[in-house]
Structure 1
Amino acid sequence: MSSTAPGIPTAELARLVDHTLLAPSATVADVEAHVASARELGVLAICVSPSMLPLTVDAGDLVVATVCGFPSGKHHSEIKAAEAARAVADGAAEVDMVIDVGAAKAGRFDAVEADIAAVRAAIPGALLKVIIESAALEDEEIVAVCRAAESAGADFVKTSTGFHPAGGASVHAVGLMAATVGGRLGVKASGGVRTRAQAEAMVAAGATRLGLSGTAAVLEGASGEGGGGY
């Protein structure tokens, strides 16, 4: 696949993508088709719900990611940790966990850090991404949560679930997150990224990974309304 628009070559952009299927109505057949499309598109990873693991088809060299505490984040830390550990046992190499956004809004960043640390301890061999719901946070809260994620041993901070009413990723939030973690953690932009221009703007702002459900349309340079909240 070659680039259809100026900017990042398509194959290079594809290697930043977590091709995502988190629709509650997704079936095993849907996941199998999703894996096939991911392999055809040349993306880095797939992201599916934990109940869809282990996969029923060969993922080839695709990275397998899943979510925990999704989408609200209002779960006990031990439940998130157990869910993450089960997902890794079922074949996930990466886990995207949702923080307790209410704790962040209340300024309880020690609780946010402890929540992340509990999941981190449960999956020592896996890559951990922390979903902060950036659209629901003020700038100073974004900074504080990113610092908590780094202190707790996370590998990435991630903008959004794509299910929160406040919205998804923004260039401003991605830039602020990238500046806060300073290259020590990755930054994943997800939620509402539906065009090639939006995807490239997120990368220019500092995103090192993209969560997309309408991946084919984005890579082709069209507007892609994807399912599953992303």
Structure 2
Amino acid sequence: MVLYNIKNSKELASYINYTNLNNMIAENEMREFLEKAKELNFNSVVISPTFVELAKEILDGTDIKIGSVVGFPLGFEDTASKAATASSLIEKGADEIEMVLNFSWLKDEKYELLENELKQIRQAVGDKILKVNIETKALEDYEKANAAKLAENCGADYIKTATGFLSPNHIYENVNDINIFQKHAPKIKIEINGGINDYKTANQILTAGADKIGSDFGYEIVNRYKDLRENTQVTPKPITLTKKD
């Protein structure tokens, strides 16, 4: 398998959505997290609604998008609440909204309810990015396919594989999910989340066809890559291009 051709740490960071949804975090810790995100210029940060305005302040002047969550982590809130939360987050400065699909409705195949909810939230988000998060670890393949088709048909920009609430998928499970999404919802973008804590795994996920990676370990992944590829200087031994007599 030919691995994804990452040219430098800046490009690597552009594929990562640096995540911190720790509900026990204090503001000073979030400030530190956001400064680390700013240092490496990730594609986005994914944070709780509590800190969206703080992120808007700290990340002002950067290209880093601000992502936040609706219905996290189980998706059980009623549709009106989800739509109102999404609208409020956009007003506060969020660029990306990640909504968790109602797990029970998906399991019970209540597709009309899911479609109605998705359409309302798509409207609330407007021209900002909408991601639909499903717990693929707890779903059958046909349920993943139906969720992805619904998300695509309702105008979502991304399908995302996990909230981090369950144990992370194995690499082969992630590849299987990517294959399902590409087959049944070929127009929607794919974000793989959870269990990606080193460059090797990140590279494998991108090679398999993911568009973005969600990770709590984004800072560590990019810094380790920098140490390996950019901060290591090797002076080549002088050689001649002709055979010595």
Which of the five TM-score ranges fits, normalised by the shorter chain?
0.7 to 0.9
Where do 1:125-164 residues align within 5 Å? Answer: 125-164=127-166
Unaligned runs of 5+ in 2: 227-245
* Alpha-carbon distance in structure 2 between the residues aligned to 1:202 and 1:34: 24
Q: CA deviation at 1:73?
A: 0.5
- Counterparts in 2 of 1:162 and 1:12: CA distance versus 1, 3 Å: same
Contact 1:196/1:218 (8 A) holds in 2: yes
Runs of 4 or more off by more than 6 Å in structure 1?
none
* Alpha-carbon distance in structure 2 between the residues aligned to 1:134 and 1:179: 16
Paired letter, 1:112: L
Contact 1:110/1:148 (8 A) holds in 2: no
Q: Which residue of 2 aligns with 1:46?
A: 45
Q: What TM-score do the two structures reach when normalised by structure 1?
A: 0.87
Paired letter, 1:209: K
Equivalent in 207, 215, 218 of residue 218 of structure 2? 215
Q: Which residue of 1 aligns with 2:242?
A: none
Per-residue CA shift, 1:48-100, capped at 9, x if unaligned?
A: 10111212633022111111100010110111111111111110010000001
Q: Which residue of 2 aligns with 1:28?
A: 27
Paired letter, 1:11: K
* Alpha-carbon distance in structure 1 between the residues aligned to 2:138 and 2:85: 25
> Percent identity of the aligned residues?
27
Q: Which residue of 1 aligns with 2:86?
A: 84
RMSD: 2.0
Equivalent in 118, 122, 138 of residue 120 of structure 1? 122
Q: Which residue of 1 aligns with 2:6?
A: 8
Contact 2:35/2:58 (8 A) holds in 1: no
| Structure number with bigger Rg | 2
* Alpha-carbon distance in structure 2 between the residues aligned to 1:127 and 1:46: 13
More helix by percentage: 2
Paired letter, 1:180: H
Per-residue CA shift, 1:154-196, capped at 9, x if unaligned?
A: 111100101135x4472211232233222x2211110121221
* Alpha-carbon distance in structure 2 between the residues aligned to 1:15 and 1:100: 30
Paired letter, 1:16: Y
Q: Which residue of 2 aligns with 1:228?
A: none
Unaligned runs of 5+ in 1: 223-230
Q: CA deviation at 1:116?
A: 1.4
- Counterparts in 2 of 1:6 and 1:18: CA distance versus 1, 3 Å: closer
Query: Bigger shift: 88-97 or 156-165?
Result: 156-165
Q: What TM-score do the two structures reach when normalised by structure 2?
A: 0.82
Q: Which residue of 1 aligns with 2:58?
A: 58
Where do 1:165-204 residues align within 5 Å? Answer: 167-168=168-169, 170-182=174-186, 184-204=187-207
